[in-house]
């Protein structure tokens, strides 16, 4: 892209791709326009101009601005430029799919700016996103829901027949998962076709297949292991074509701003994470790196990661990430989990070779005591034949109901490659619950 406006905020380095006073886009996609084969940013502004903006990144000019009709709902929150013809709805390459301000999902003609096709559902409250299905014969739509606490993710044919429905309050942006190599070994899917963000406190990211099954999600919920606490995630997309589920899911947080990449096990690998509180009121805490409300994250055509942050003087900034600081990241190893009568290893082991400092906080949220042991391994390769022989105990203790234990591990000399935590009931046959929080830096 043409922009050379580079900023560095406390080690967070980024390039500004678009900013214009009075424009507040909440969505952007970087595409090759099928009409002239030029690079464009397609943006959707639901609060300032209520328009779709097509921006030529090489010329640095707004090429087209489409005002979206209606007047009740703050839309469009998303806008997708079609790459191919869809005869069933009279869609041509370059036309725009989005939501209008009258409670519909619509197709807008690029030339006339007129609506060529619309989808209206009786139970929709706040239409948010719409993408074509993989075969182009139906659409996946999200509805935010509002006062009626509705909201959903739904697959609908082009003539309005519902194929499946997942109730989901705050269902926000959708990103397509683009599959795998011909061999099937390298893939960016964990088994699904779409990633959907649910915009709520401690809400999550869901990977959904063509049949409407949730095949992967983060966080996994109370009583489970390995969860990132996601504070109002507004968007997410999958990075990489990797073997053995080695991909990352990049997530943007509305609550205070932030961009975090999580792995298959829902553990953060890099990023900028803000805190969140509802005391004394729900309160967003802008990050020290200047992010405030990260409404969208997306890949660029050059393979980098970009984001939309609602900031600046009456505007939103579209940025391309250049350098990410090595900031502390927190996640939940166990979330109010009962170890059960046999006890439990909180696996997989915690990879710590890349990190200098690791803090484990154990909280007994039950009434009965919990026994815990922390083990370490210096060997960076864990294989089945000698797995159980590679661990030595580095810490242990008994945690009574309501108590908290803090375990700090200094790994600046790279002594440890993995840590492994085991928890057991302190009193045989008496259930309890443990919450284990990891912060690494």
Instruction: Quick: pLDDT tens for 305-323.
Output: 999 999 878 899 999 999 9
pLDDT of 119 higher than 90: yes
Residue 389 main-chain phi, psi, to 5 deg? -100, 5
Closest CA to 291 of 10, 66, 28: 10
Closest CA to 327 of 356, 303, 285: 356
The string over 292-302, giving b where at least 16 C-beta atoms fall within 10 Å of a residue's C-beta and e elsewhere, is bbbbbbbbbee
pLDDT of 8 higher than 90: yes
Instruction: Quick: pLDDT tens for 356-393.
Output: 999 999 999 999 999 999 999 999 999 988 898 899 99
User: Rounded to an integer, what is the distance from CA 238 to the centroid of its chain?
Assistant: 9
pLDDT of 179 higher than 80: no
pLDDT of 3 higher than 60: no
The pLDDT of residue 102 is 95
The pLDDT of residue 99 is 97
Query: 408, exposed or middle or buried, with CB in 10 Å at 0-12, 13-18, 19+?
Result: exposed
pLDDT of 347 higher than 60: yes
Q: Which domains does the chain have, with CATH numbers?
A: 20-169 (2.130.10.10), 180-325 (no CATH), 330-440 (2.60.120)
Instruction: Quick: pLDDT tens for 57-78.
Output: 999 999 999 999 898 899 999 9
Alpha carbon dihedral 362, 364, 370, 371, in 10-degree steps, equals: 10
CA distances from 209 to 89, 95, 194 (A): 24, 26, 6
pLDDT of 295 higher than 60: yes
According to DSSP, residue 265 is labeled T
pLDDT of 135 higher than 90: no
Task: Name all contacts of 37-42 with Cβ < 8 Å and 24+ positions apart.
Answer: 39/1, 39/301, 40/81, 41/17, 41/318, 42/79, 42/80, 42/81, 42/96
With beta carbons less than 8 A apart as the criterion, state whether 79 and 97 touch. Answer: yes
The pLDDT of residue 2 is 52
**SS3 for 282?**
coil
Lowest mean pLDDT among 146-160, 178-192, 327-341, 397-411: 178-192
Closest CA to 42 of 59, 18, 20: 18
The pLDDT of residue 184 is 80
| Whole-angstrom distance, CA of residue 404 vs CA of residue 400 | 8
The pLDDT of residue 72 is 87
The string over 25-64, giving b where at least 16 C-beta atoms fall within 10 Å of a residue's C-beta and e elsewhere, is bbbbbbbebbeeeebbbbbbbbebbbbbbbbbbeeeebeb
Instruction: Quick: pLDDT tens for 226-282.
Output: 999 999 999 999 999 899 999 999 999 999 899 999 999 999 999 999 889 989 998
């Amino acid at each position: 892209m043409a922009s050379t406006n580079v900023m560095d905020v406390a080690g967070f380095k980024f390039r500004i791709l678009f900013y214009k006073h009075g424009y507040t886009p909440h969505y952007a996609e970087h595409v090759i326009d099928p009409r002239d084969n030029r690079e464009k940013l397609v943006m959707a502004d639901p609060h300032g101009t209520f328009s779709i903006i097509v921006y030529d990144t090489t010329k640095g000019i707004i090429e087209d601005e489409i005002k979206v009709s209606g007047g009740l709902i703050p839309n469009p929150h998303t806008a997708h430029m079609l790459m191919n013809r869809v005869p069933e709805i009279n869609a041509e390459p370059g036309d725009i799919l989005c939501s209008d301000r009258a409670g519909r999902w619509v197709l807008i003609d690029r030339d006339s700016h007129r609506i060529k096709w619309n989808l209206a559902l009786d139970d929709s409250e706040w239409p948010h996103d719409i993408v074509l299905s993989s075969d182009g014969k139906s659409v996946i739509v999200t509805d935010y829901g509002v006062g009626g606490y509705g909201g959903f993710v739904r697959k609908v044919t082009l003539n309005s027949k519902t194929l499946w429905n997942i109730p989901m309050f705050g269902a926000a942006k959708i990103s397509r998962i683009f599959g795998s190599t011909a061999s099937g070994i390298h893939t960016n899917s964990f088994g699904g076709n779409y990633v959907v963000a649910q915009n709520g406190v401690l809400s999550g990211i869901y990977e959904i297949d063509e049949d409407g099954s949730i095949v992967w999600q983060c966080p996994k919920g109370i009583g489970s292991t390995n969860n990132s606490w996601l504070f109002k995630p507004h968007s997410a997309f999958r990075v990489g074509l990797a073997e053995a589920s080695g991909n990352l899911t990049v997530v943007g947080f509305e609550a205070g701003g932030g961009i975090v990449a999580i792995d298959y096990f829902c553990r953060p690998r890099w990023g900028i994470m803000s805190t969140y509180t509802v005391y004394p009121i729900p309160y967003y805490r802008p990050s020290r790196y200047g992010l405030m409300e990260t409404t969208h994250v997306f890949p660029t055509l050059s393979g980098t990661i970009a984001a939309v942050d609602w900031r600046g003087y009456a505007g939103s900034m579209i940025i391309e990430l250049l350098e990410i600081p090595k900031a502390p990241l927190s996640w939940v190893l166990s979330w109010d989990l009962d170890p059960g009568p046999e006890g439990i290893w909180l696996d997989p082991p915690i990879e710590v070779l890349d990190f200098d400092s690791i803090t484990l906080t154990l909280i007994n949220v039950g009434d009965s005591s919990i026994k815990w042991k922390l083990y370490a391994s210096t060997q960076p390769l864990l294989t089945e034949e000698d797995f159980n022989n590679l661990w030595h105990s580095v810490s242990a203790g008994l945690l009574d109901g309501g108590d908290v234990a803090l375990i700090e591990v200094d790994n600046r000399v790279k002594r440890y490659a993995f840590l492994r935590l085991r928890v057991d009931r302190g009193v045989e046959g008496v259930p309890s619950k443990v919450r284990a929080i990891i912060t690494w830096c």
